Amino acid sequence: EDPSLVIIDTQSVRAAAGVPKTTTGLDANKKVSGRKRGLAVDVMGLIIGVVVLAASAHDNAAGTALLDQVAERCGMRLEKALVDQGFKDEVVIHGALLDIDVEVVRRNPADQGKGFVPQPKRWVVEQTNGTLMLHRRLAREYDHRPDTSASRVYWASTANMTRRLTTPAPAWRDTLGLAA
């Protein structure tokens, strides 16, 4: 069934030498020259929407495009979207126009200076980004066209879903070493 909550995030990925400069840019915040990959996932980490833009594009551009994709694919059941602090008011306003409550998840002030600290519920999209980076073709941008790059993300997520379905999960007894 369609999800009622999605989590949205972007990730900047370096581009290979053969990628045209017209489709890449520089993410000044992360100092990455390449493309920005935006993901919208459900609470299980299954990808609902993908957007690939130049790295110089603001997170708002990716966020509004992802909200449009998610609203089209999920229908009326979608109620809420979680985003990080990189997304600004434009995404919140666009979500309100689509009847989606967009919540900006703020970092805990006590976690300042500790590096990467997973945020409640938002860690799912971070985990999905990390899992995608394990696929060789997604660790760097090699594709000439952004839509081809987006299709590679869907291929990799299909492989991840297939692995989840075919690999049995260990029983809790197996993790304790009690199984005979």
Q: Is the pLDDT of residue 178 over 60?
A: no
pTM higher than 0.85 for the full model? no
Burial 123-132 (b: 16+ CB within 10 A, else e): ebbbebbebb
pLDDT digits (tens, 9 = 90+) for 27-48: 888 888 899 999 999 988 899 9
Model pLDDT for residues 53-88, shown as the tens digit of each residue: 999 999 999 999 999 999 998 877 889 999 988 888
- If you write DSSP's letter for every residue of 105-168 in order, what string do you get? PPPPGGGTTSS--PPTTTHHHHHHHHHHTTSGGGSSB--SSHHHHHHHHHHHHHHHHHHHHHSP
- Ramachandran assignment for 121, one of left (phi > 0), alpha (psi -120 to 50 degrees), beta (any other): left
Domains of the chain listed by start with CATH number: 5-107+119-176 (3.30.420.10)
| Sign of the torsion angle spanned by Cα atoms 157, 122, 134, 64 | positive
Report the percent of the chain where pLDDT is more than 70: 89
